[in-house]
Amino acid sequence: MKHIFQAFWLKWKLVILPILIKWGILGAGAVALLDSSTIPVPMDALIAVWVWKDQGHFWAYCLMAAAGSAVGGLLPYALGRAGGELFILKRVNRAHYERMKLRFEKQEFLAMAIPSALPPPTPWKAFVFAAGVFEMRVLPFMLAVFTGRLVRWLILSALVIKLGPGAVGIVEHHALTVLLMVLGLAAVGFGIWWMRKRRTGESRLDA
């Protein structure tokens, strides 16, 4: 089995992936689909290469890759929906699980869009799996992934056009800082929303 996997991986790197890369815009969608569903691919680096070589169509590469990623994400999403609840309940109790589900449902679009917009090492497939476990509807899930990925790769494209392909290294170098900043802003936003909700509830009780 190990030899079969190694042979497939070698064929993937030396034959299949180069062919998909040569497909250009269509290749961006195909590679992003595979990256999101099964086979990890350095998508940011590939987007940088495509955009640098064809700067006039940067938007097309971003759109196609975002669409491919949204479609490919349906596989880990489906796995989470099919048996993820049992997987999580083996690790946490039912009360904790219900609290996690409630928190996710309150901000499910942002809970999926923000990780989709962040570069590695963001554990993106874990968020996709969770979206399936907590039964996020398919269309909002795909829209959130598409939106996050599109924002991410449009920003990357702008940096590549401005700074060159080396922009990928800059983004990856500051990935942890960006992740912490986004999480901080999300926490502040949630705090403001929670306070407003409490004030609205108290006002209704007073009335």
What are the structure tokens assigned to 148, written together? 């996050």
Q: Using 50, 70 and 90 to split pLDDT, how confident is the model at 139?
A: very high
Residue 3 above 90 pLDDT? Answer: no
Instruction: Please say if the pLDDT value at position 187 is more than 60.
Output: no
Pure H helices in 12-166:
17-22, 25-37, 43-53, 58-72, 74-89, 94-106, 108-117, 124-133, 138-163
**83-134 pLDDT, tens per residue?**
777 777 777 777 777 887 887 888 889 889 988 988 877 888 888 998 998 8
d(CA 71, CA 163): 31
Question: What is the pLDDT averaged over residues 1-27?
Answer: 61
